[in-house]
A and B are shown apart, each in its own frame.
Chain A
């Protein structure tokens, strides 16, 4: 008996390119959803892309709702500014003009999304931040310093340190050794990624976050050593219209607990106001 011919997804996403501020931004579009739920727009984190940060979440959220995912493009300037990334997200949102949008950002993407929501309430109906932050603090700088000092001089230690801080102890301890080295090997930063790491050092969107009016869900990761939950709790306090929930995961939640993120995002997108602003939403206890 031979193996069967590979079965494929019912609907393949469409990839589009859009010129914004002199660069070409790529975004992926799952196509229309089965219902009239808000369109979800995903923005990845530092050094990521739709492929590396949303391989699970993008296809699994698609179906009931339309999902778009943006691959942030390298503007090419020696110093990366937050504004350049915001423009790209705004460009896509203006191009797409969906009836209703839930903007979802992860890590640095959450910073971008929050900032966009603070400036353009006309484009963002609902906001979800995953492991986001408002203002870089000393703890983050220390980690960033170690990363900087080792990235060229001790690249293996740098990758190991990145994996060590990216995943929760509970996740790492149960991984077979070969998976662990796979995760370590994946910790690579290209030029654009390195400039995103530099940008991470000087984030302060406190004022803009305070202007967010969208119905917001702040998702923190309990065991996050890159952006510890205190940052999300801060966002939850800055954004008036925010709810808060915590996932038992490290920063790499998009790979560690992607199904739980799908749950949290789907529930919020189906009824953003189900919990009033200010609620700390309990986790699902299976």
Chain B
């Protein structure tokens, strides 16, 4: 690709460079605009905004946190068609948010960042992209943590005679009608895909390495009257958002392993399965062998019934290899398939984006994180001045809306920017010791939760250090309470006066 020139781009040199145009990048942009800050650019590698909701177009894609809450607090949406809006609608919502804030002039599509280098002399970030070079005083990484598909290392998959696609790179041209289809994985995406395609395929084989816990979803369409109420009475949305939010927070007690709540959560999930599955053999295969809350608890009303269809086979082991075109499970069973759908999740603990960002001395974030990622307040990293990470380490949640977390981080970043301006600091860099203490505290908390004590291997865990570095191990509200307000204390000594 020919590097485009940014010579004529009025935003080639700005105060703030945001990389990524998903919920994080767009939310950050809207809030900056609201503060009348105009010197920022949002770089996005794809040709439109939307992040997860642009990339995930597989049949059945939807959120699993109710939509009235899974949306920005500063722009609630009375128009959601249903409790769990389809992905397409969430994508459109995010586009509307950007349009309403007139973010268009700040967005640069087809601008994939290949490196971001801190230049200590000019005290600026130099960001190289497929659309030219951008420089800025601050770099805000909003590149997501469920962004880059994780492709399992399956020997022989290259020789698979049919089509292979990852759920997050769905190709609508692949015809599934009457085909023999294998789905690999039983995570959040798989349980949405499987019921959506089962009736059209000839045969579906689901490769299950570990059974998930699934609870009832109880989705419903909002009536016209409800939507009208949301439009006329904004407090009706507030009321609903709060009740969804606090119910989500309630469910954290099970994850903190409080016996009565753990028991309640386990009973809810297992009785949901038993009410939908009669066959004792199938029940056995679908009973998880780890504690509830260790992996994401999924929501579905049609996944279990789909498994009882005649044309669906549950293979209770992983896909191990492809042998002369045949998919073979780790239990040794072979299947002739036309299409393989990899619903195998994303790169989480070893973020590809971390290889692109070079701090002081040229060290990359990935090198800095060679034994596991961490960031102070989940946002700043020692050795990486004027860098803020949105939705990076220790922000993932199993029980509530990520947008709540992202908004708390945006508040923190705005606080940091205000402080730097008011105190005339050129550099915002956190002390190493503060970063370490924060990580240790989170690890201590995670050890009290099912994340680390639930006896499973999940995408929240970093195998290098055995820590749940992706996850916020507490109530979502505690993140806002503890981490949304900028306190300069751990930055003060590192800071250099502007012009000094």
Interface residues of A (CB under 8 A from B): 1-4, 6-10, 34, 55-56, 59-60, 63, 170, 174, 248, 257-260, 262-263, 266-267, 270, 283-286
Q: Tell whether A9 pairs with B258 under 8 Å between CB atoms, given A60-B253, A259-B249, A285-B238.
A: yes
Contacting pair B291 A7 (CB below 8 A):
yes
Give chain B residues whose Cβ lies under 8 Å from the Cβ of A270.
481
A-facing mask of B146-185, CB < 8 A → 1, else 0?
A: 0000000000000000000000000000000000000000
Say yes or no: is B290 at the interface (Cβ < 8 Å to chain A): yes
CB distance from B73 to the nearest CB of A (A): 6
Contacting pair A59 B258 (CB below 8 A):
yes
Contacting pair A4 B478 (CB below 8 A):
no
Give chain A residues whose Cβ lies under 8 Å from the Cβ of B453.
7, 10
Contacting pair A59 B287 (CB below 8 A):
no
Contacting pair B289 A59 (CB below 8 A):
no
CB distance from A169 to the nearest CB of B (A): 12
Say yes or no: is B262 at the interface (Cβ < 8 Å to chain A): yes
Contacting pair B258 A60 (CB below 8 A):
yes
Say yes or no: is B477 at the interface (Cβ < 8 Å to chain A): yes
- Which of these, B238, B287, B441, B445, contacts A3 with CB under 8 Å? B287
Contacting pair A259 B475 (CB below 8 A):
yes
Say yes or no: is B82 at the interface (Cβ < 8 Å to chain A): no
Which of B118-126, B240-248, B411-419, B489-497 lies on the face that meets chain A? Answer: B240-248
CB distance from A13 to the nearest CB of B (A): 11
Q: Tell whether A10 pairs with B257 under 8 Å between CB atoms, given A4-B455, A34-B444, A260-B246.
A: yes
**Count, A-B residue pairs, CB within 8 A:** 103
CB distance from B255 to the nearest CB of A (A): 11
Chain B binding surface, main DSSP class = helix
Give chain B residues whose Cβ lies under 8 Å from the Cβ of A263.
249, 475, 477-478, 481
Contacting pair A1 B287 (CB below 8 A):
yes
Jot down 6 A-B pairs with beta carbons below 8 A, ordered by A. Answer: A6-B291, A7-B454, A8-B259, A9-B259, A174-B243, A263-B475
Distance in angstroms between the alpha carbons of A248 and B259 in the assembled complex: 27
Q: Tell whether A1 pairs with B284 under 8 Å between CB atoms, given A259-B252, A263-B475.
A: yes
Give chain A residues whose Cβ lies under 8 Å from the Cβ of B445.
63
Contacting pair A2 B289 (CB below 8 A):
yes
Nearest CB in chain A to that of B258: its residue: A59
Say yes or no: is B261 at the interface (Cβ < 8 Å to chain A): yes
Q: Tell whether A8 pairs with B246 under 8 Å between CB atoms, given A170-B239, A284-B480.
A: no
Contacting pair A56 B448 (CB below 8 A):
no
Give chain A residues whose Cβ lies under 8 Å from the Cβ of B261.
56
A-facing mask of B273-317, CB < 8 A → 1, else 0?
A: 000000000001101111100000000000000000000000000
